[in-house]
Chains A and B, each alone.
Chain A
């Protein structure tokens, strides 16, 4: 079986083709094609995993093309990591497709949705099993395309379409770097194969700088795809897509592909401590910033989106500090419990037709299954033992502690925030008095095809962590030769548990009781307005400078001013709430501004170029002739 693992990746592709051919005629029965295909793929993936557990490994490739003296192979490889990932991807995709039968019921583009999800699954599985950067990149791009299509699924609203564009363009920024990195490696190692490049890295003494550069360029791609700071702006907007698609793509699998990329090319990062440090810092920063932003979101899906960004930051932190096993362990557990949370959120949204948590409340009475599973997912995310997230997050914190204490404390702070905002979300959504009676009256538990996936996903969210952690099973399974693991530390474990519990307690105090006065919140609104005005000011300044063409310097100045000067003032002055708002402002002004500014500059340059085109034939000929003359002069002067 394991030698035919590639078939698993082809199955969703077949489903895609079948849906393309017959899907429209089958109406909503088309979903069964996808569910059947993924069910089959899931079973096969389990079988492959069983064989890998028994010690099997497989790799195969064929000569794809021959260019001169180079041959480029296409192939796959399946080891412990790949087999586990295949199970995760097929399982989540299966659950999502099952769930979508209910959630997407009545959607005018039902078939298109299923087509895209299946094509996406192929892309993700391609990323998982690729044994070379080329196949990896191709599958990566397929995922990007599907992600874009799904984000703008409800394109009747122009904002959704814009969100799709933003996601596509932002991730491409990273992709350019990643492609450059792949090229760099190819030019040095003469191959795209992971194995060949690993051999080159091992023997490449004296080219540490090139290795660092290559690692950082690859990391740029990972930053884009995995929504790390500063390219994280697209993921919250990506919530515009259908919720089950968010669960699959923007929580469990695709966004983790960036982490997976770093893991797959870990041998490059290991050879460059500098690159590792960058990964760790970016990861810790992302984990912390995104968690603070999540504490003030009112949109249930946005809370989860920022939480995803934050957890991806945790994984990056894990990789950066040398915790290869820990990060991938977290990737796997996170895929399950975050998919569970998203599907639960989808169930709630399905019931009340709003994503605004202030219009919910008290829903637990009406939605017992959704509520219970959501709480299980939250406990896993918050890192409460014995749920899955505790073990993996603890491992990351342990590795971080060994590497650098500052990073550990940043991570612990983020973990505290995580527990806090999930408590807040649960209380606002499921408990307290219903704030919108009309919506509350209409709320109801979701149909079985939606609640069954929730129950299924609750199982790994509960048990997987302990199951994998027991006997340090995961440490001997998903690992690399020469890796050392941090050993158990009571301090770290106690710290992890206490920050999680503290987060829950604080969250409960603020939102579950009346102990905290609400006037404090109103007082806090004032600086928010000031900040909003500030934002306007910086946008104007920014655009004005862009037009003058000194975009680079001004961006730096604006960033410095906004982030360092204001940031310090605000940081000292205000509490977590303000800080998170600030980071969000940073987000919209500097990062969005940079993206928009670059676009504006490009467009402006295009406009100038266009003006050359006068439409007068004489001037065309004059330019042509001037070209000749200039060419003559240059060639005469420098001889070409």
Chain B
């Protein structure tokens, strides 16, 4: 029960943080709208066109490869922590895991997913 409670508190706290900060900002900040202020902020560039545009499919494949290696990196952390306990078996296992991902990477490379058109 206590474990569950912790998680619940964590969850509520996590949710309260963004909601709270937005609320506080809205309450405290002065509001003097003018056209350039309410327009979409785009790194200082003048925005043009609609926000709803079709993105190039390349983004998707790119993001996918990124995501996979992101997860791989996260998976490597716990493995590294108990690396000594796992010994050679763990090493070989992780090697196989990375190898499989490398095959994917090579495939992506050859299919020119990582090149920008």
- Is chain B in direct contact with chain A in the complex (CB below 8 A)? no
